[in-house]
Chain A
Amino acid sequence: MSLLAGQILNGIATGMLYALMGLGLSLITGILNIPNFAHGALFAVGAYLLVTAVNVLGNFWIGLVVAPVGVALLGLAIEYAGIRRLYAAGHDYQLLFTFGLSLILAEGIILVWGPVGISHLPPEILRGGVDLGFTFYPKYRLFVMAAAGLLVFLTWLFLEKTRYGAIMRAGIENKEMVSLLGIDVHRLFTAAFALGAYLAGIAGALTAPIRGLSPGMGVDMLGIAFVVVALGGLGNLLGAIAAGLLIGVAQAIVAAYWTEASTVVIYAVMAAVLLVRPQGLFGIR
């Protein structure tokens, strides 16, 4: 069934992007305990910054490095100027704030880049496709799979094997303990938000040549990111990765047989899983 095999490949590619988004959001919701409704907008900003960076610097690879850093800096600014004051404010105000932010970012994109969708081609060497036998597949998508996979692995490595990563994981588990150990929890929060923003930004940058850019491109991604986090368990990083891949593949397989239902399926899977396991597939809380 080469259609199925091709779809599964698609699913892994999109799943990797979902995993990146879910990972970033899981970090933010896990450590900062806020509902970040601006996560989709950060994704969109990453895509637009990539296009500008490539136009200005003339090189896709440099752009790919620079754009997400730009989003991370934006994340730093947002956390410092706004979110920092809201940790005690209650989820409703955090939500209002991040949602307001998402409006500001989306409209800001329109003001800077205009409302027209922008097409952006992948770099020369990644154009065209390869014949994989069971399907002909675009080179760029294979690259995205590999790059996203590498990023996910590096993030995991950072969180599991480095001291700062351990602090972050501890922050998810028990913030008070972390601050009692003398670690500046504020810095931890800022770093976590910046890292989450970085991951959203690079997901956006990688997506730009695939989906093109439009100011509303973050909205659908936001919903999917929340599903991934809900399925994977808040703050459960491996869970977010697994859930992202699961959703991507499920969507692609359903698309092979019943295309119209492929988006509904994501939310139906989530509802079904949460009925049976309220803590998500991998959550423990």
Chain B
Amino acid sequence: MKKENILLLAAVIALPLVLRPAIATEIWIFAIFGLGLNLLLGYTGLLSFGQATFFGSAAYVAGWLLKHYGIGVFLALGTGVFVGAASAALVGYLCVQRSGLYFIMLTFALNQLFYFVAYQWTSVTGGEDGMPGIPRPAFLGIDFRDPLPYYVFVSALFLLSLWIMKRIVESPLGRILQAIRENEVRAEAVGYDAARFKLVAFVIGGAFSGAAGVLYAMLFGIVPLEAIGFVTSGNVVFATLIGGSGSLYGPIIGSFVFIWLSESVSTLWARWPLLLGVAFVIVVLFFRGGVVEAWARFWSWRSSKQKI
């Protein structure tokens, strides 16, 4: 096994020993979310600023079914993946015709549309109050209400998602998406319908986001309104950029850094978003490429020093 995979496995095993299982679980959920986003952002070059649309919609629908119809865990997951993919197909269809700033603004504004619908539809979503009372149904006799079994479940799903995403990006589809990112005109000229492939990327990204959304709802027992808000959309983009959108593992590192920052610093200073903003500015000005690239640069600098 490659060294990154050994590390990852070690992290998955070691994490609940050093962190509360709930936070560790949240990190892997956010990593799944980031993997979905990065297919669009890193591999296809599409800055989708509205991924919360799919994350939140999946959470609401699956949450509703879990709460009122008592469906099982895998059905809930399946629902989430389906809703995530379907909503992404809808949004993607509207968006892929546009590019550049239009595209970004459109994903943002459509996210807002979904957000305000969720806000107003209080009879279903609970509006401002959110949808509490989401259960964690047992599976094969395993009670997921304990934090540790749920953590094992989520981290296994994360590893599965990572494996799936790896297969996707290394497949011909993945290479076509990267070709579109590099030079869309040329890709079209060679015969690939860029819009269609972008839509496919959207749907896959949406499916991953949907899975993450359902796991999130089950983790906290509630679907909060923020789950479908643009701040969540922004968070996953920023986390991925900070980790490094140029690599498969970037979103994972970004998830660690982001959740760690927001959870630990927030207890120290109420004005911690200021530090977050400063961190963003610093990353943009000095560490473009994120942690992954900074790390690579650091090691190549070190090894170049040693060569002498």
Contacts and interface: CB of A to CB of B under 8 A. Distances in A.
Chains A and B share a contact (CB less than 8 Å): yes
B94 A271 contact: yes
Q: Which of B100, B237, B281 has the most CB of A within 10 A?
A: B281
Interface string A90-112: 01110111011111101110110
B298 to A, nearest CB: 20
B274 A91 contact: no
A29 B98 CA distance: 15
A171 interface: no
A104 B51 CA distance: 24
Q: Which of A95, A101, A108, A227 has the most CB of B within 10 A?
A: A95
Contacts of B117: 264
Contacts of A104: 274, 277-278, 281
Given A92-B41, A106-B273, A100 B113 contact: no
What interface size band does chain A fall in? Answer: 35 or more
Contacts of A111: 271, 274
A82 B218 CA distance: 41
A77 to B, nearest CB: 13
Contacts of A263: 116, 119
Given A226-B109, A260-B120, A89 B277 contact: no
A229 B105 CA distance: 9
Interface string A17-48: 00000000000010001110000000000000
Contacts of B274: 103-104, 107-108, 111
Contacts of B98: 274, 278
A229 B102 CA distance: 9
Nearest to B288: A93
Nearest to A264: B116
A29 B100 CA distance: 11
A107 B47 contact: no
Given A226-B109, A267-B113, A274-B106, A103 B276 contact: yes
B105 A96 contact: no
Given A103-B276, A274-B94, A230 B106 contact: yes
Given A92-B241, A106-B273, A261-B120, A271 B110 contact: yes
B277 A95 contact: no
B216 interface: no
Contacts of B41: 92
Contacts of A223: 108-109, 112, 230
A91 B94 contact: no
Given A89-B288, A99-B234, A271 B277 contact: no
A208 interface: no
A275 interface: yes
A173 to B, nearest CB: 16
B22 interface: no
Interface of A: 29, 33-35, 82, 85-86, 89, 91-93, 95-97, 99-104, 106-108, 110-111, 223, 226-227, 229-230, 234, 260-261, 263-264, 267-268, 270-271, 274-275, 278
Given A82-B281, A230-B105, A261-B120, 8 more contacts: A33-B100, A35-B105, A99-B234, A101-B277, A103-B276, A106-B273, A264-B120, A275-B94
Closest 6 CB pairs of A and B: A100-B280, A103-B277, A267-B113, A107-B274, A104-B277, A100-B277
Interface of B: 41, 47, 49, 94, 97-98, 100-102, 104-106, 108-110, 112-113, 116-117, 119-120, 230, 234, 237-238, 241, 245, 271, 273-274, 276-281, 283-285, 288
8 contacts: A86-B284, A89-B288, A92-B245, A101-B281, A107-B274, A107-B277, A261-B120, A268-B113
